[in-house]
Amino acid sequence: MTETQIEHAVEFRNVTKAFGKLVVLNNVSCQLPKGRTTVIVGPSGTGKSVFLKLLVGLLKPDSGTILVDGQDITRMSQQELFELRKKFGMLFQDGALFDSLTVGDNIAFPLRQHTRKKNKEIMQIVAQKLEQVGLPGIEGKLPSELSGGMRKRVGLARALALNPEIILFDEPNSGLDPVMSDAIDKLIIKTKHLTNSTFIVISHDIPGTFQIADYIVMLYKSKVIASGKVKDIQDSEHPVLKRFFARDSEMPIDPDHGTGQLDLRPYYTGQLQGG
């Protein structure tokens, strides 16, 4: 294994993805450091959700290479991708909880999908993860009984269930008021301190980005226009970066690129298992 593969959990090399004539990502290259929190930012419609779908193999690039821990996932079979996804935990915008399952069964779901652990051990892990996110003892509640912030926390507990090497966060602050948004940011920071996992966060929340990030990748008009440590991004004189982080309301976006809320639920349902 090379030094590059050791240093970086994820690497995109000259990745292009188009839908018909619409090029969503154009020759994108970036490296996401292992064991750090990288936040992917950019105006609406710049391909952030497509980036995550490519990363877990739900989409294949038209060209280029995507490495996860040094493995080229673009050449993997569906069965190999299913095995690869054991490395990942995922927190969706809305928590993506199964409404008909209790909190406990929601968190247990990936353990039952991907392991052969006995139910007693699974429920011990569930209790541990709920404790970790500050919601002990709610295994029997249904998602409909939870507030938005609680659903996010349960979603994070499920994302942590397999002790994943990489955790993906899709807009973790979406739909939350400022107080709860700040609480989620602090929970992400606390969780990061308790794990050696790599965190990859899609976010539009600028204050939260600077609070949780070690590294930032900026997507704009289908390309990576900047990537680096937080201070380097903050100090950059790049005009697009300055306008974005100043929340310039007149900054142009491309509405044709919008992909809506990210849906990675096939990871949990096992729909992609098999060759």
Q: Is the pLDDT of residue 14 over 60?
A: yes
Q: Is the pLDDT of residue 248 over 70?
A: no
User: Residue 207 falls within a domain, yes or no?
Assistant: yes
User: Residue 274 falls within a domain, yes or no?
Assistant: no
Q: Is the pLDDT of residue 19 over 60?
A: yes
- Predicted confidence at residue 148, as pLDDT, reads 85
User: Residue 101 falls within a domain, yes or no?
Assistant: yes
CB-based burial label for 180 (10 Å; 0-12, 13-18, 19+): middle
Q: Transcribe the chain into DSSP letters.
A: --HHHHHEEEEEEEEEEEETTEEEEEEEEEEEETTSEEEEE-STTSSHHHHHHHHTTSS--SEEEEEETTEEGGG--HHHHHHHGGGEEEE-TT----TTS-HHHHHHHHHHHH----HHHHHHHHHHHHHHTT-TT-TT--GGGS-HHHHHHHHHHHHHTT--SEEEEE-TTTT--HHHHHHHHHHHHHHHHH---EEEEE---HHHHHHH-SEEEEEETTEEEEEEEHHHHHH---HHHHHHHTT-TT----GGG---S---THHHHTTT---
User: Residue 175 falls within a domain, yes or no?
Assistant: yes
**Average confidence (pLDDT) over 213-242:** 91
User: Residue 187 falls within a domain, yes or no?
Assistant: yes
- What are 49-93's pLDDT values in tens digits? 899 999 999 999 999 999 999 999 999 998 998 888 888 998 887
CA distance 110 to 269: 9
Residue with tokens 């090497």: 165
**What is each CA distance from 256 to 19, 22, 203, 222, 260, in whole angstroms?**
11, 8, 19, 12, 11
Handedness of CA 132, 137, 139, 143 (dihedral sign): negative
User: Residue 127 falls within a domain, yes or no?
Assistant: yes
CA distance 145 to 135: 13
Q: Is residue 45 very low, low, confident or very high in pLDDT (cuts 50, 70, 90)?
A: confident
List the beta bridge partners of residue 89.
167
Q: Is residue 261 very low, low, confident or very high in pLDDT (cuts 50, 70, 90)?
A: very low
Give the pair of three-digit tokens for residue 64: 């280029």
CA distance 89 to 178: 25
pTM of the model: 0.85
Q: Is residue 256 very low, low, confident or very high in pLDDT (cuts 50, 70, 90)?
A: very low
Structural domain total, the chain: 1
- Predicted confidence at residue 208, as pLDDT, reads 86
User: Residue 275 falls within a domain, yes or no?
Assistant: no
Contact assessment for residue 272 and residue 58, using Cβ atoms and an 8 Å cutoff: yes
**What is each CA distance from 162 to 113, 200, 245, 273, in whole angstroms?**
10, 17, 35, 17
Task: Give the range of the structural domain holding residue 55, as residue numbers without chain letter.
Answer: 3-269
Neighbours of 121 (CB within 10 A): 11
Give the pair of three-digit tokens for residue 265: 């639920």
CATH value at residue 148: 3.40.50.300
User: Residue 161 falls within a domain, yes or no?
Assistant: yes
